[in-house]
Structure 1
Amino acid sequence: MAVEVVVEAAPGGAIQTDAPLIDAELAGRLRGGDEKAFAELLDGWSQAMLRVARGYVSSDQTAEDVVQETWLAVIRGIDRFEGRSSLRTWVYRILVNIAKAHRARDSRTVPWPALAEDDTAPTVDRGRFQSADEPYPGHWRRFPMVWPSPETDVVAHEVRDTIEAAVAELPQRQRLVLTLRDMHGYSAVEVCEILEVSPQNQRVLLHRARAAVRARLEEYFGRPSTGGGEAR
């Protein structure tokens, strides 16, 4: 089933990414050379696209090249968009294919550790949950404490740095799923279509990524966190 891209026409023809617009209408505007529509998409999607591209290639510069090539391919190929998926998913599939092509070229000359990533690493210590013979099997043994809110700009900056460092160290697929789901608000369905993973695999990758980031924040704050929440 096609997923509707989340954009809408605002007064004056501007495109926003927080309300529905039929993909065919947006695609029609792009086919018609609507520069404002294209500029709005460029501004709204490029940052997330850059993060995804960086998950496949070995440098920031190459990731920027991938995004640029993707937009050129979108301009040249918009007439081939048939609406079988959301426009956003279609654009991201182009991005991923171009990024993979760059990665293939890179892998001939430089090592690519992400290709051998291990998604079986442990997540949350099982000892923190009640066992089968306890009153609430699978529930927290001791409810985690809430992290304190950063009280200064310095602390807030340190927290952001901690999160960014944790995300950067994630295996490739975990990093991509977390980036799309939690940083840019994409749905599980969209992520599955973009990355070509199953719903179950998407949930596992998201859970492991959230657990890893949570663990780094626990280390920073020096006490247990509230948990990353269930992956859906």
Structure 2
Amino acid sequence: MRQRAAVEEADDGELVARLRAGDESAFAQLVETHQAAMVRVAELFVPSRSVAEEVAQEAWVGVLQGLEGFEGRSSLKTWMYRILTNRAKTRGERERRTLPMSALESPDVEGGGAAVAEDRFHPADDPARGNLWARPPRPPDVETIAGEGHERLLAAIEKLPSAQRAVITLRDVQGFDSESVCDLLEVSAANQRVLLHRGRSAVRSEFERYLEGGDDR
């Protein structure tokens, strides 16, 4: 993990230097890599894809304008998506659709069902408690599913309640770590865990029904 973080930091440093120097090819590469994903994340907060595309464009302008102030305290990707989510939340409020903060703050109200059992986490006296699952739920295996199955998986994510969908999209589709997700969504680590567990369970159940031929298409 540390080695990967060091590599990402080195890659970020080189890319930021190129961007600050006005390297258009570096910016084009960045847009090509992240544009589609940024639109998908923006859609979590705004009422339509067209508005999400506008928000993504505004975020790219913000990235260019803010490069000189980027200090590297987070990864370049996390910093970019923070710009995006801030703009998306503002636009969502203006368009009267944004991810309700109450859903993030009180996950047991959203989606029904009992709270996650305490034995899913480390014991109370374990120093790792509050950070890691004792028995992690298996994430939907996005990378190994292709074609129609992958589309079905994404469709299952779309059916989730808004807060669960946001956490699953950022964690399991975009690959952010838990700390970054908490930062981007302004949610506590405990609530992020609950939302992640419930979202993964719902997606897995939906996808397993599809694989077993129980689809109602």
Is residue 183 of structure 1 aligned with residue 173 of structure 2?
yes
* Counterpart Cα distance in 2 of 1:32 and 1:125: 49
Is residue 60 of structure 1 aligned with residue 49 of structure 2?
yes
* Counterpart Cα distance in 1 of 2:190 and 2:71: 28
3-state SS in 1 of match to 2:28: helix
Structure 1 unpaired stretches of 5+: 9-18, 127-138, 140-148, 224-232
Partner of 1:119: 107
Structure 2 unpaired stretches of 5+: 118-134, 136-143
* Counterpart Cα distance in 2 of 1:164 and 1:75: 31
Of 90, 94, 100, 2:89 maps to 100
Q: Deviations over 1:52-107 (max 9, x none)?
A: 10000000000000100000111112111122222211111110111011111111
More moved, 98-107 vs 177-186: 177-186
**How do 1:166-177 residues align onto structure 2 when only pairs under 5 Å count?**
166-177=156-167
* Counterpart Cα distance in 2 of 1:61 and 1:173: 21
**How do 1:12-161 residues align onto structure 2 when only pairs under 5 Å count?**
20-21=9-10, 23-107=12-96, 112=97, 114-115=99-100, 117=103, 119-120=107-108, 121-122=112-113, 157=148, 159-161=149-151
Q: TM-score with structure 1 length normalisation?
A: 0.66
* Counterpart Cα distance in 2 of 1:218 and 1:124: 23
Q: Deviations over 1:208-229 (max 9, x none)?
A: 1111111212332449xxxxxx
3-state SS in 1 of match to 2:175: coil
Q: Determine if contact 1:48/1:180 at 8 Å carries over to the other structure.
A: no
* Counterpart Cα distance in 2 of 1:72 and 1:193: 21
Identity %: 43
* Counterpart Cα distance in 2 of 1:215 and 1:188: 23
Q: Mark the structure with the bigger radius of gyration.
A: 1
CA RMSD of aligned residues (A): 3.5
Larger proportion of helix: 2
Amino acid at match of 2:89: K
Aligned length: 183
Shift of 1:24: 3.6
Partner of 1:228: none
Q: TM-score with structure 2 length normalisation?
A: 0.70
